Amino acid sequence: MIKNLTYNVWVIFINYLFVIIFTPFFIIACTIIYFLNFFYNKGPLFFSQNRLGLNGRNFRLYKFRTMFIDAEKDGPQWASFNDVRITKLGKFLRLARIDELPQILNIIIGDINLIGPRAERPEMRDMIIKHIPNFNDRLLIKPGITGLAQINSGYSNNIDQTAVKLEEDIQYIRSKTILLDIKILFKTIFIIFKLHGT
């Protein structure tokens, strides 16, 4: 009981510490990317998409747009590291994970935490669950901007890779601790500075 309470306080602490520290960077990024979009990424500044949250609740996830406007005219697709739908500016935003900054809004609203499984799209979940029946197990906690599967396995663009990431998500859900969260945060920072974001 005390352990769970301590961990819950920790989650609230790191969520709002992230919001306080990175809101100024978010505002600056909005201004810079808005003007860069005129030259390298024409179209809206933000991108929002329906995602699955805690217990399968639907919410809108916010990001800086990194793909061409008509990127999914042929329907939902898995993203990949060298995805041809990603603009030149969008590729850098993804590598540095700058595209994730608007999710500050999702943390404030309460849709997500800083750390947790990546929020999946309902359409992709419906396809994946046909092959991986326990995929909904990752919905037992709020999704996160970063997490164990994100830092260890990067993009998943097929069922086999998704199954590996699911195991990592379930591992995190079962063994989440303050120490594990700190390790995830440090590895996330390392990935950002090495421009290995995924």
- Closest listed residue to residue 89, CA positions, set 70, 64, 71: 64
* Per-residue model confidence as pLDDT tens digits over 23-36: 999 999 999 999 99
- Closest listed residue to residue 52, CA positions, set 5, 1, 101, 122: 122
Report the distance separating Cα 110 and Cα 192, nearest Å.
Answer: 24
- Closest listed residue to residue 189, CA positions, set 62, 1, 21: 21
Report the distance separating Cα 101 and Cα 82, nearest Å.
Answer: 21
Q: Which residues of the chain have pLDDT under 70?
A: 2-3, 71-82, 155, 195-198
* Per-residue model confidence as pLDDT tens digits over 147-185: 999 998 876 778 888 999 999 999 999 999 999 999 999
Q: What would you report as the CA-atom Rg of the chain, rounded to the nearest whole angstrom? A: 16
Q: What is the pLDDT of residue 26?
A: 97
Report the distance separating Cα 99 and Cα 95, nearest Å.
Answer: 9
- Closest listed residue to residue 29, CA positions, set 61, 65, 59, 60: 65
Q: What is the pTM of this model?
A: 0.89
Q: Which two tokens stand for residue 72?
A: 């999914």
Largest Cα separation within the chain, whole Å, is 54
Q: What is the pLDDT of residue 149?
A: 93
> In terms of DSSP H, where are the helices of the chain?
2-40, 88-95, 104-109, 122-128, 148-153, 159-175, 178-193
